[in-house]
Structure 1
């Protein structure tokens, strides 16, 4: 009876609806797992995307996070739009800077990845688990490691 009243993915869509009420632009059909946090209202998530458990999406009011359609983001991933300039020696975290992040359609971000401010990840790209993405990633490639490096190219046909 419980499976009929509460299908396995229903709460993921309810969470997406709650984030919509908070101002995020989340397309219908997207799923968001428990523990996910989003700051700011400049988050855009495309149709059919999946956000894993305990993901942090930090969207500064002066920058946005754009997640394309059919994107999969693994658990405990962190996406940041805020950083600081390097300040004087008495306070190294200088003036705040906001830079937008973009993840293209069909991309797959592995668990525990960190995407730093200002990064663009191309359509169909795969970011391996645990990768710190500090530079743009082209479409249809697999990247991983620290520092991030190209692992291989992927076919653009299905």
Structure 2
């Protein structure tokens, strides 16, 4: 679960004491780099790599490598090779 304080319509400045819950859906075999930030209500597909320090503010497609602030697709992984390794249960 992710979340933040209510800053838009709350009863105090800069934010209310109300906590707004948000959820991230993280797929299978994902690799999140150190200090990557996932910002609520995000769906991360199967098998992406999210680089160190990335800020994810929108959905991440399956089998991608994303990075930056805000995270953008850098390239796509070899899907067939990924599936082959997964089927063979070659996990690190």
Q: TM-score, normalised by structure 2?
A: 0.74
Matched pairs, number: 79
Cα offset, 1:137, TM superposition:
0.6
Gaps of at least 5 residues in structure 2 are 82-92
Higher relative CO (Cα under 8 Å, sequence separation at least 6) belongs to 2
Change (3 A) 1:98 1:89: closer
Dislocated runs of 4+, deviation >6 Å = none
Give a deviation string over 1:55-98, Cα, whole Å, max 9, x none. xxxx3xxxxxxxxxxxxxxxxxxxxx111232469512233210
Is residue 117 from structure 1 mapped to residue 29 from structure 2 by the alignment?
Answer: no
Alpha-carbon distance between aligned partners in 2 of 1:107 and 1:157, rounded to the nearest angstrom: 16
Alpha-carbon distance between aligned partners in 2 of 1:131 and 1:122, rounded to the nearest angstrom: 16
| Secondary structure at 1:157 match in 2 | helix
**Aligned-residue RMSD, C-alpha:** 1.8
Hey, what does 1:24 align to over in structure 2? Answer: none
